[in-house]
Amino acid sequence: MKKQRWRWTKGKLWFCDSCFTSIRVKRNYKPEHCCNGFECGCYGMPINPVFCDKCEQKIFGKVLR
Ligand SMILES: [Zn+2]
Ligand SMILES: [Zn+2]
């Protein structure tokens, strides 16, 4: 059985925002920040975080379609 490991065959190396395992993201991916998290609910985290498949399942429960 062939298992597709990466969602994007081409992309750049990035790190999961949760467990920091290396993943591949879209080449045009850029982390966007709301602010540095001071007195803000964003906690300085990127507003478009990327996660590895494991964390994505942990966080979203199911793979969203
Ligand atoms: Zn992860
Ligand atoms: Zn903020």
Structure tokens at 13: 């190396």
Which pLDDT value is given to residue 3? 64
Task: Let me know if 23 is exposed, middle or buried by CB neighbors in 10 A (0-12, 13-18, 19+).
Answer: buried
Which pLDDT value is given to residue 13? 94
Which pLDDT value is given to residue 1? 62
Provide the domain limits for residue 44: 7-65
Structural domain includes residue 2: no
pLDDT < 70 stretches in the chain: 1-9, 62-65
Task: Give the 3-state secondary structure of the chain.
Answer: CCCCCCCCCCCEEEECCCCCCEEEECCCCCCCECCCCCCCCCCCCECCCCCCHHHHHHHHCCCCC
Whole-number Å distance, alpha carbon 39 to ligand 1 midpoint, is 27
Which pLDDT value is given to residue 6? 55
Structural domain includes residue 45: yes
Which ligand has its closest atom nearest to the C-alpha of 20? 1
Whole-number Å distance, alpha carbon 42 to ligand 1 midpoint, is 19
Structural domain includes residue 31: yes
Residue whose tokens read 């045009």:
28
Which pLDDT value is given to residue 41? 93
Please tell me the total count of domains within the chain: 1
Whole-number Å distance, alpha carbon 9 to ligand 2 midpoint, is 32
